[in-house]
Amino acid sequence: MKIFADSGCDLPKDFFTEKNVELLTLRVDLNNQVYNDILDIEPKVVYDAMREGVVPKTSQVSPELFLNKFEALAKNDEEGIYIALSSNLSGTYSTAMMIASQVRENYPNFKLKIIDSKCASLGLGLLVQEAVQLREQGLSCDETAQKITHMAEHMTHLFTVENLSYLAAGGRLSKSSAFIGGLLSIKPILHVEDGKLIPLEKIRGRKKAINRIIDLMSERGGDFSNKTVGISHGDDLEFAHEVQGLIEEKLHPQSFEITMIGSSIGAHAGPGTIAIFFTDKDY
C-alpha cells in the first residue's frame, strides 16, 4: 500500500524517504520565485522574508504532479491512500479527486482512497504517521482509511499566532477578526472546526494564551497518558520547548512530536505561531 501526503502535513523531508511516503508538494511564491514546499525551500527563509514585510503566496499541489503519481500507482496495479490537507483551507483535495477520476477513466481498477482530513499542519502529520504504523502492522488499505478517517474526525487543533494579519491577508480569516486581535496585544486562540479556522477566544499576552490552551487541552482531551501531543511552531523552537514543559507538567502525555510549521502553512500563519494537536477524549 502506497501512502501519499501533501506538504501541508509539516513533517520533515527525511520522514518521507525513511518511511516510504510519497510527497505531494504545495508551492510557495516568494519574491516572484516559485518553490516546491519541503523540497526547494526551508521554512526559515519564508519566516525571515515575512519579518521583513514580504507577503508570500501559496498554491496547491499541481495537477501534473497528481497525474504523474496517480498514474504510476495505477500502472503498477498498487493500492494507495492519500491523506489530504483540509478542503476548506486548500483546493488540493478537490484537484486530487478530479485527477483520480481522470486516471480511473483509463485504469478502471485504479485503487486509491482520498481522505479529506479536515486537518492541517502537524494535525495532518499525526494522521500520516499513524497511517505508516497501520501499514507496518499489515492493515489493508480499506482498514487504514477507516481508522485514519475516524482519527481525523477526533483531531483537535489549538493555536495562537503572533500576528493575525498574515491569516487575513491569505484569506484564511476575516479581516475584522484580524483587526480585533491586533488591538491591545490580544493573542487569539483559534481552532479548526470542520476544516476551517475559527477564532475561539481572545487572551491578552502570549503566556496567558498558552496557559488557556492547556486548560482547553485538559477539557477536550481528557486523559493524556496514552496520547501523543503534536507541537508545531513558526520558527520559535525555544518557545515550543517551553510549551512542551508546561504541557508535560500538567497533562503528562505519552509522547510529543515537535516540528517547525512548513513553508506553505507558515506563509499564512506567520512567524511566532504555536500550534498544538491531539485527539479528543472521544477518540
Q: What's the pLDDT at 175?
A: 52
Share of residues in the chain with pLDDT > 90 (%) = 85
Strand pairing of 274-279 and 228-233? antiparallel
Whole-number pLDDT of residue 184: 54
Reference 211, options 256, 276, 271; nearest CA is 276
pLDDT for res 166 = 74
* Angle ∠(276,42,268) on CA atoms, nearest 5: 50
Cβ–Cβ < 8 Å for 244, 118: no
Task: Give per-residue pLDDT as tens, 165-218.
Answer: 776 665 555 555 555 555 556 788 999 999 988 888 888 888 999 999 999 999
What pLDDT, on the 0 to 100 scale, is given for residue 148?
98
Q: Return mean pLDDT, the chain.
A: 93
Measured from the Cβ of residue 15, the count of other Cβ atoms closer than 10 Å reads 18
Cell numbers given for 96: 486530487
- Banded model confidence at residue 162, pLDDT cuts 50, 70, 90: confident
* Dist CA 139 CA 118 (whole Å): 23
- Looking at residue 154, its pLDDT comes to 98
Give the per-residue pLDDT at 204: 85
Mind listing the pLDDT tens digit for each residue in 40-70? 999 999 999 999 999 999 999 999 999 999 9
pLDDT at 182: 54
Q: Closest Cα partner for 268 from 109, 159, 124?
A: 159
CA distance 254 to 36: 34
Q: Are 4 and 81 in contact (CB under 8 A)?
A: yes
Please give the domain boundaries of the chain with CATH numbers for all domains: 2-26+61-153 (3.40.50.10440), 155-279 (3.30.1180.10)
Joined together, the cell numbers standing for residue 90 give: 486548500
- Sequence-distant (≥ 6) Cβ neighbours of residue 36 within 8 angstroms: 7, 25, 27
Dihedrals phi, psi of 223, to nearest 5 degrees: -80, 125
Quick: pLDDT tens for 232-282: 999 999 999 999 999 999 999 999 999 999 999 999 999 999 999 999 999
pLDDT at 25 over 90: yes
Handedness of CA 264, 267, 272, 278 (dihedral sign): negative
